Structure 1
Amino acid sequence: MKILGHRGIPVLYKENTLQSLFAPFSFGADGIETDVRLTKDGVPVLIHDETLTNFCGTDVRVRDLTLAELREYKSDGETVPTLEEFLKFAPRNKCLNIEIKEYEAGELSVLICRKFYEGEIIFSSFNHHLINELKEKYNGLKFGYLFDEQHTSMSDEEIFALFDKNTYSAHLPVVGLLYFPERLLNIIKELKRREIKIVLWTVNDKNDIARISEYVDYIITDDVRIFL
């Protein structure tokens, strides 16, 4: 089981800043998960939310700012990093889970990651159409589908159909084990039978996965120290 820091280690530092993203490696983490959006001038940057409200208290959209303008906003001295600058300094041969938040950021993120990083990279998104397109075009790279409450109306057959070709992983919310444990466990078992990797997010208590740990390949956590 690989341990990935959720946006770094947000219990210690502002999420998705370079300080937060690099810190999990010092505790022995196998990798990190981070989020990619585009600035107004088309630069992939690492931030989860559409706006800077959570980052620095300013209600302005990332996509409405150029990179130069975005650099003017700081949180405790930290700016929103670009994908490229993180990749250039990230430890080699670790696992990076790159969550693509916007369709427009998809292919560019893949190209930049291939250029600047040597190590395991899993590209994931809640936008299943985007993942369908990328996995068709970039055969051999690792792609995964993210699921949350918006996908509960999908049938099991519709879910399994996503994994028929060139799909590496399923990214499932650990909270699902609380609300529909039997269904989620059955889905996990079938995906494992199909040799699909299981990624659980966001796991902050060992007890949450104690009974299914044998099926889990990656966990994403706010505090890697819990598991290391």
Structure 2
Amino acid sequence: MKILGHRGIPVLYKENTLPSLLEPFYLGADGIETDVRLTKDNVPVLIHDDSLMNFCGVDVKVRDLSLAELKRYKSNGESVPTLEEFLKLAPKGKCLNIEIKEYEAAELAISMCTTLYDGGLIFSSFNHSLISELKVKYTSLRFGYLFDEGHAKLSDEEIFSLFEQNTYSAHLPVVGLSYFPERFLKIIKELKRRNVKIVVWTVNDRKDIEKIWGYVDYIITDDVRLFL
């Protein structure tokens, strides 16, 4: 089982800042999960939300700012990092789970990651159409489908159909185990039978996944120290 820091280690540093993203490696984690979207001048940057409200309390869209303008906004002295900045600092041989937040960011993120990073890469997204498109185009790369409450209405058959070819991983919310325990376990068992890697997010207590511990390949957590 591999342990990935959720946007780094947000219990210690502001999420998705360089200190947050790099600290899990120093602590011995297997990797991190982070989010990529684009600035107005099409630079891939690492931030979860589409605005800066959560980052620094300013209600301005990332997509409406050039990189130079974005860098003027700080949270505890830290600016939103570019994907390139992070990739050049990330230790080699680790696992980076890159969540693609915008369709337009996909190609640039993939190109930059495969060019600059020497290690494991998983590209995931809640946009299932995007992942379906990318996994056909880039057959040698690892892609995963992200699921949340918005996908609860999908039938089991619809979920399984996504994994019929060239899909590395399924990224499932740990809260699903509380709401739909029997279905959650059924889906995991079937995906494992198909050799799909199981990624569970965001796990912040060992007890949350006791029932499925043996099925999980990756844990995404706000505090990697809980599992190391």
TM norm structure 2: 0.99
Structure 1 Cα separation of the partners of residues 182 and 109 of structure 2 = 36
Query: What code does the residue aligned with 2:10 have?
Result: P
In the other structure, the counterpart of 1:153 is 153
In the other structure, the counterpart of 1:29 is 29
Per-residue Cα deviation, 1:78-120 (whole angstroms, up to 9, x for no partner): 0000001100110000000000001110111100001100100
Query: Does structure 1 residue 180 correspond to structure 2 residue 180?
Result: yes
**In the TM superposition, what is the alpha-carbon distance from 1:9 to its structure 2 partner?**
0.2
Structure 1 Cα separation of the partners of residues 52 and 225 of structure 2 = 28
**In the TM superposition, what is the alpha-carbon distance from 1:51 to its structure 2 partner?**
0.4
What's the % identity of the aligned pairs? 75
SS of residue paired to 2:187: helix
In the other structure, the counterpart of 2:100 is 100
Structure 1 Cα separation of the partners of residues 212 and 115 of structure 2 = 36
Query: Does structure 1 residue 55 correspond to structure 2 residue 55?
Result: yes
Moved over 4 A (4+): none
In the other structure, the counterpart of 2:193 is 193
Structure 2 Cα separation of the partners of residues 3 and 157 of structure 1 = 29
Per-residue Cα deviation, 1:124-181 (whole angstroms, up to 9, x for no partner): 0000011011101100100000000110111100000000011000000000000001
Aligned ranges 1:206-225 → 2 under 5 Å: 206-225=206-225
Query: What code does the residue aligned with 1:121 have?
Result: L
The gaps in structure 2 that reach 5 residues or longer are none
Aligned ranges 1:118-157 → 2 under 5 Å: 118-157=118-157
Structure 1 Cα separation of the partners of residues 157 and 107 of structure 2 = 28
SS of residue paired to 1:99: strand
In the other structure, the counterpart of 1:45 is 45
Structure 1 Cα separation of the partners of residues 178 and 139 of structure 2 = 35
Query: Does structure 1 residue 72 correspond to structure 2 residue 88?
Result: no
In the other structure, the counterpart of 1:84 is 84
Query: What code does the residue aligned with 1:213 have?
Result: W
Structure 1 Cα separation of the partners of residues 119 and 200 of structure 2 = 21
SS of residue paired to 1:212: helix
The gaps in structure 1 that reach 5 residues or longer are none
Query: What code does the residue aligned with 2:105 have?
Result: A
Query: What code does the residue aligned with 2:227 have?
Result: F
TM norm structure 1: 0.99
In the other structure, the counterpart of 2:111 is 111
Query: What code does the residue aligned with 1:136 have?
Result: V
Query: Does structure 1 residue 20 correspond to structure 2 residue 17?
Result: no
**In the TM superposition, what is the alpha-carbon distance from 1:210 to its structure 2 partner?**
1.1
Structure 2 Cα separation of the partners of residues 213 and 94 of structure 1 = 22
SS of residue paired to 1:200: strand
